Amino acid sequence: MRLDDKVCIVTGGASGIGLEISKRYADAGAKLVIADINLDAATAAAADLGDDHMAVLMDVTDPDAVQAGVDAVIERYGRIDVLLSNAGVQIVHRVEDMTFDEWRKVMAIHLDGSFLVSKAVLPHMYERQSGAIIFMGSVHSKEASELKSPYVSAKHGLLGLARVIAKEGGRKGVRTNVICPGFVKTPLVEKQIPEQARDLGISEEEVVNDIMLGNTVDQQFTTVEDVAEVALFFAAFPTNALTGQSLVVSHGWFME
């Protein structure tokens, strides 16, 4: 599947899953916009992809910053074809130990951020009667785990937001879908291992083997490459036959 000359914004695109998706999109012919709160990293990532790509500073929780980033994309390219809303963070505590500020931070980045970037790009997609919006959900869009109350809540919320946009955007040529990865061994996940071991009173090895991989069919982490292939499929799919859907890529951690 190809994305020749499609303009694709990837939030949180300077590292981890977002960076791998950006590379896969570029390989498929897209013009990448690496949108990240770390402008230096985004600039370096865009430069590594080549001259047809750009970086924008974007705090997805700030409506003005989101709009400024989208305006910069329109000024350069005149269009937006794909939005991959990927920016994320994780904080793990039991509900009674989670501060309200921690709750709001996780919810704001994952759920508010996806709303804000969608709101900013939709008028441009509607004008062209074409576009794809992809949210980075999780197996936790489908299932709960201990210690992750705001993350699980936000990821569940993305399914609802995607379905609403699919309903509203379908007659205007815009489709919206959600990728639901299992545990991908990025720095975000690696940081959770000692935190969960401490809060659950188990070893780090037990966190990996029992919690993260225990429900998989092969005791394997999902890879960034796995997720990038699904992201390409959703971005390049040509019609509204595939909209309002979610696809779990988790080595069987969750099945439906």
Active site residues: 151
Strands, E, within the chain: which ranges?
7-11, 31-36, 54-57, 82-85, 131-136, 174-181, 245-249
User: CA 37, 39, 44 angle in degrees (round to 5)?
Assistant: 130
Helix axis angle, 113-128 to 149-169, nearest 10°: 10
Q: How many Å apart are CA 166 and CA 245, to the nearest integer?
A: 9
Partners of 177 in beta bridges:
134, 245
Strands, E, within 69-161: which ranges?
82-85, 131-136
Q: How many Å apart are CA 49 and CA 28, to the nearest integer?
A: 12
Q: Reduce the DSSP state of residue 79 to 3 states and report it.
A: coil
Q: Which of 163, 1, 25 is nearest to 10 (CA)?
A: 25
Half-sphere exposure of 211 (CA within 13 A, CB side): 22
CA 58 to chain centre: 14
Q: Which of 210, 96, 222, 212 is nearest to 147 (CA)?
A: 96
